[in-house]
Structure 1
Amino acid sequence: MPRNPLKKEYWADVVDGFKPATSPAFENEKESTTFVTELTSKTDSAFPLSSKDSPGINQTTNDITSSDRFRRNEDTEQEDINNTNLSKDLSVRHLLTLAVGGAIGTGLYVNTGAALSTGGPASLVIDWVIISTCLFTVINSLGELSAAFPVVGGFNVYSMRFIEPSFAFAVNLNYLAQWLVLLPLELVAASITIKYWNDKINSDAWVAIFYATIALANMLDVKSFGETEFVLSMIKILSIIGFTILGIVLSCGGGPHGGYIGGKYWHDPGAFVGHSSGTQFKGLCSVFVTAAFSYSGIEMTAVSAAESKNPRETIPKAAKRTFWLITASYVTILTLIGCLVPSNDPRLLNGSSSVDAASSPLVIAIENGGIKGLPSLMNAIILIAVVSVANSAVYACSRCMVAMAHIGNLPKFLNRVDKRGRPMNAILLTLFFGLLSFVAASDKQAEVFTWLSALSGLSTIFCWMAINLSHIRFRQAMKVQERSLDELPFISQTGVKGSWYGFIVLFLVLIASFWTSLFPLGGSGASAESFFEGYLSFPILIVCYVGHKLYTRNWTLMVKLEDMDLDTGRKQVDLTLRREEMRIERETLAKRSFVTRFLHFWC
C-alpha cells in the first residue's frame, strides 16, 4: 500500500532519494544541489516542515554542500547582516569623522589639564604613547573582525560569539553605560563653557538648546547625520592644526611676550610631579585611565559596520586612518601643552568640575602667550567639540542598544528600525537618559557626574580587552577548524601577537588603576571613596557577569573553539577570486613608489 503523500515523512524520504551518493541522474554536485533546493522550497510551501520534524532535508543539504564549507548562501548571508534594516549610507569619510567626533572632546581639551597637574608633561606623553600602541592592536583586530563580519553592533557581537555570552553581556552593558553617561556629561560641559562669555543665564537654558539641537540631528537619516558630524569633526581637526602651529610659534618665542620657552617647564617644575621616584611613578600610573578615556570612541568604526556601504574596504581604511589622525593629534598637542603650561599652574585645577573648559590647558597656553581674542575662539571650538561628542554619543549608544537587543541582551523593541533606517526606539531612550543634563544648574552636578562616570569609568579598557581577546580566539578557532586566512578580506597587521600585547598591557593598566584608586596620590593611606570613584565599574562588571550566569544558567566559561560559529554574518569570499585580487594588488603596488606602498600599508 503506497504511503500517504500528505505525511511529512513521505517528503523527507523523497528528498533523501535525491542524495548525490545514491542518485546517478545528476552529473555534478551543483545540479543536485539546485534541484534539491528547489524541491525543498516547493515542499516547504505546500507542507511546512521544521528542521526538527524533517532531519532528512537538512541532512541532504549538508551532505551536498560539505565540499564547499567556506561558502554560504548569499541571500541568507545578507539577511543575517541586514536584518535590522539599518541604512547603509556611510562611507570611509563618514566612519572616520564619526570616530573623530566621538574621540576628540573633553578628553583632549579639558581632562588633559588635570592629567598634567597629576603626572607632569612626561607622564602625558608616555601614557598616551603606551595607550596608543595598545590602541593600534585593537584597531587592527577590529578591522579584521569587522571586515569579515560586518554585523549589527560590531564588537558587541564578537565577544558573545568568540568568547562567552555572559562576559559579552557584562562588557557591552558597561560600554553602553559609558555612552549613556557621556551624553548628559557633554551637555553639561557645553553649558559650563558658555559661562566663559555669560554666567548670568541659567545653565539649564543652554542645556535645553543643545539638547534640542542634538535630538534634531539624530532624527535625520544616517547619511545626513554623517554629513553633520563630518562638518563638526573638520572644525576640530582644523583647530588642532591651528593650535599646533600656534604652539610651535609660542614655544619658540614668537608670541607677544617673546622669550624662548622650549623645554623650560620640563626642568622646572619638572617632567614628573613629585619629589620621590615612588610618587612620580604613581603619578604616571594615575594618568593611564585618563589617556584611555580620551581615546574612547575610536572603536565607532565597528559600531557603524552595518551602516557602511562596503564594510570589506571601508572599515579597515577608516579604522587605520582614524587611529593615525587621533594619535598624531593627541601626541602633538600634549607635547606642546607640556612645553607651554607648567604642571603646577593652579588654573589646571580651578574648574568647577571635570568638564569645565576654564581648566583647559589649551586655553591656559593661549592666555600665557598673551594673545587677545584667541582664548575666546578656543572656548568656542571646545564648545563645538563637546556638542559633537554628545551628538556621537547618541549615535553610538542607540546602535549599541540595537546590537544588544538583536542578540537578546536588551528588550526586542529597541531593535526596531523605521523606514528611513533609524533605530528610533533606541534613539528616544538614549535621549531620555540625556535629560540628566538638566542638573547643570544644581550645585551638586559635579558630585552627580563623578559617581555616574564611576559606573563605567573603565569601560573603554574592558571593551578594548574584549576586542583583542575576541580576535585571539577567532584566530585560534580558525586554526582548530582548519580554515585559511585567505578567506579574510582584511588581515590584522599586528596579528595574534599584537592582540596579546594589547591585552596584556591593558590588563597591567587595570592593575595600576586599582593601585592608584585604592591608594590615591597625595593620600595618607587607603581611601574607599577614591577607590569606588575610580574602580566602581569593575565590581559592577563582575555583578553583571554573575547575574547573567545565574539568569541564563549557562555555566560555560568559554565557547569551545571547535564549536565556534565562523560563518553567520560572514561576508562571502570567493577564494579563487580573492587570491587573484591579492596577486594583482601586489603586482600593482610593486610598480608604485615607496611612499605609495608605505601609505597603502599603514593607512
Structure 2
Amino acid sequence: MGWNYFLQWIVTIPFSLVSAAMTIEYWNKDINSAVWVSIFFVVICAINIFGVKGYGYGESMFSVIKVIAIIGFCILAVILIAGGGNQGYIGGANWHPPFVNGFKGTCNTLVNAGFSFAGTELVALAAAESPNPRRAMKKAIKQVFWRIAIFYLLTIILLCFLVRYDDPNLIGNSSSSASPFVVAISNGGIKVLPSIFNVVILLAVLSVANASVFASYKPLVALGECGYGPKFLTYVDKKGRPMISILICLAFGLIGFIGASKNQETVFIWLLSLSGLACIFIWFSISLAQVRVNYACKVQGISRDNMPFKSFGGDYGAYFCMFLNVLILLAQFYIALYPIGAEPLQVSTFFQAYLAAPIVLVMYIGHKIWTRNWSLYIKAEDMDVTTGRVVVDTELLAQEEFEAAEAWKAKPLYHRIFHTWC
C-alpha cells in the first residue's frame, strides 16, 4: 500500500497542473495549455525545493485565501438563493429532478466524492514535523472535521441550490471551462467577481499540487527506509531535505504537458480515474491497519492510554469505514461494466473507471515476490508496533496529562466547549 499511496499522490501532481491549465481557459483559450503548465510547474518546483518549510509556507498562504473566499461565497450564496441576484428567488428549484440517471448516477459520483475527501490523512504526515506532535495531532484532527463539515459539505449543498447539474457553462459541457463557483456567481448577474473567484479556484488547484508533492515524497522516503525501495531515496541533504525523492516527485509533474493536447479533458479523466479509486483502497487499508494495530497492542499488552490520540469511533468506526469503501468499490465496478450513456463491457470505459484496481493487484503480487513472503497476514503477536515510537517516561507523561486535565477544569465553560470541538 505504500507504493499505492505514492502512486495516488504522484498522479495528482500532473492532474492538478492540467486542472490549473483548464481553469485559465475561462479567460483565454487561444494560448497553448503547455505555457500555463510550464508556469505552474515552475511555481510548484520553487515552493517544494525548500522541503517541508516550503510546503508549510505555501499551504499557509493558500489556506488563508481559500478560507476567506469560502466564507465570503457561503454568505453570497445564501443571498442569491433568497433572491438577491438577477434570477430572483431560487429556493430548491435546481434540485429537480432529484435522482438524475437513477441508481447509476449515484454510483457514478461516489469515487469523485471520495477523491475530494482525499488528503485529510495528511495531518498525520504533517504532525510528525511539528515541535509537539502529541498536541498538534489532536488539534489538527478537530480542524479536519470542521474543514469537511463547513468548507466542503456546506459549500457543496449551497452550490446545488445555485447551479443545475446540466448547466451549459460547467467544465465538460461543450467548450466551457468554468467551475461551479464561478457559474453560480455569474448566473447571479454579478460582474468582475467571477474572475476574482476563478483566481481563488486556480490557487486552490495549485494548493492541491503543492500538497501532492509533499504527500508523494514522504512515503517514498519511508519506502526506502523500510527496504521496499532503493536506498538512495532516503538521502537527506545538510538542510534536512530528501532532495532525491523530491526531485523524482517533481519530475512526474512533466506528465502534465500531455494535457497541452487537444484531448486534455481525456487526460484529465484518466488521471482522475487512477488517483480517485486509489484513495478508496488507501482508506480501506488505513482502517484495516487501525483495527490490526489495536488488536496487536492488546495481544502484546501495550496500553492504548499512552497513545497521544484515540479516534472517537475506535474500531467500530474503522469497520464502518471499511464497509463503506467496499460498497464504493462494488458500485464503481458496476459502473465500469455498465457505464452511463455507453455500451456495456467496453475495455476503454472499464479501465477509465477501474484502472486503480489492477494496479493495486500488480503491486501486491510484486510486494510478495520482492519480500518472498507469501503469508496473507502477520500474526498479532509478531507485529512490530514499537519501531519508530518516541521513548517517553510514562510516569512523567501521566503527570503532565493529569496537570493538563486539572488546568482544563479551571478554564471557563465557553473555553472548554470551543476547544473540545476546535
TM-score using structure 1 length: 0.66
Equivalence for 2:159: 337
Equivalence for 1:242: 72
- Uncovered stretches (5+) of structure 2, i.e. residues with no partner: none
How many angstroms apart in 2 are the aligned matches of 1:189 and 1:475? Answer: 40
**How many angstroms does 1:524 deviate by?**
5.1
How many angstroms apart in 1 are the aligned matches of 2:61 and 2:302? Answer: 43
**How many angstroms does 1:453 deviate by?**
3.7
SS of the aligned residue for 2:84 comes to coil
SS of the aligned residue for 1:205 comes to helix
Equivalence for 1:478: 297
How many angstroms apart in 2 are the aligned matches of 1:199 and 1:566? Answer: 54
Equivalence for 1:227: 57
How many angstroms apart in 2 are the aligned matches of 1:571 and 1:284? Answer: 45
1:394 aligns to 2:213 (yes or no): yes
1:602 aligns to 2:396 (yes or no): no
Q: Which amino acid aligns with 1:290?
A: N
SS of the aligned residue for 2:209 comes to helix
Q: Which amino acid aligns with 2:79?
A: V
SS of the aligned residue for 1:457 comes to helix
**Pair 1:307–1:432, CA change in 2 (3 A):** same
How many angstroms apart in 1 are the aligned matches of 2:335 and 2:271? Answer: 20
Q: Which amino acid aligns with 1:413?
A: F
**How many angstroms does 1:291 deviate by?**
0.8
Equivalence for 1:568: 387
SS of the aligned residue for 1:510 comes to helix
Q: Is the 8 A contact 2:137 2:309 kept in 1?
A: no
How many angstroms apart in 2 are the aligned matches of 1:258 and 1:440? Answer: 36
Matched length? 422
Q: Is the 8 A contact 2:237 2:243 kept in 1?
A: yes
Q: Is the 8 A contact 1:486 1:579 kept in 2?
A: no
Equivalence for 1:505: 324
Q: Which amino acid aligns with 1:231?
A: M
Could you give the per-residue CA deviations for residues 109-168 of structure 1, whole angstroms, max 9, x where no partner exists?
Answer: xxxxxxxxxxxxxxxxxxxxxxxxxxxxxxxxxxxxxxxxxxxxxxxxxxxxxxxxxxxx
SS of the aligned residue for 1:458 comes to helix
Q: Is the 8 A contact 1:486 1:578 kept in 2?
A: no
How many angstroms apart in 2 are the aligned matches of 1:412 and 1:510? Answer: 34
Q: Which amino acid aligns with 2:110?
A: F
How many angstroms apart in 1 are the aligned matches of 2:94 and 2:179? Answer: 17
**How many angstroms does 1:359 deviate by?**
4.0
Q: Which amino acid aligns with 1:309?
A: P
Q: Is the 8 A contact 1:351 1:359 kept in 2?
A: no
Q: Is the 8 A contact 2:55 2:211 kept in 1?
A: no
How many angstroms apart in 2 are the aligned matches of 1:286 and 1:239? Answer: 29
Q: Is the 8 A contact 2:15 2:271 kept in 1?
A: no
How many angstroms apart in 2 are the aligned matches of 1:310 and 1:214? Answer: 28
Q: Is the 8 A contact 1:218 1:394 kept in 2?
A: yes
**Pair 1:211–1:367, CA change in 2 (3 A):** same
Equivalence for 1:290: 112
Equivalence for 2:266: 447
**How many angstroms does 1:533 deviate by?**
0.8
1:586 aligns to 2:393 (yes or no): no
Equivalence for 1:259: 88
**How many angstroms does 1:221 deviate by?**
4.8
Q: Is the 8 A contact 2:55 2:210 kept in 1?
A: no
Equivalent in 500, 508, 516 of residue 335 of structure 2: 516
How many angstroms apart in 1 are the aligned matches of 2:174 and 2:145? Answer: 32
Equivalent in 119, 131, 134 of residue 312 of structure 1: 134
Equivalence for 1:70: none
Equivalence for 1:383: 202
How many angstroms apart in 2 are the aligned matches of 1:313 and 1:473? Answer: 25
TM-score using structure 2 length: 0.94
- Uncovered stretches (5+) of structure 1, i.e. residues with no partner: 1-170
Equivalent in 236, 243, 252 of residue 424 of structure 1: 243
How many angstroms apart in 2 are the aligned matches of 1:243 and 1:261? Answer: 16
How many angstroms apart in 1 are the aligned matches of 2:226 and 2:127? Answer: 16
How many angstroms apart in 1 are the aligned matches of 2:57 and 2:262? Answer: 37
What is the aligned-residue RMSD (CA, Å)? 2.1
Equivalence for 1:323: 145
1:181 aligns to 2:181 (yes or no): no
1:346 aligns to 2:176 (yes or no): no
Q: Which amino acid aligns with 1:271?
A: P
Equivalence for 1:465: 284
Equivalence for 1:93: none
**How many angstroms does 1:305 deviate by?**
4.0
Which protein is bigger by CA-based radius of gyration?
1
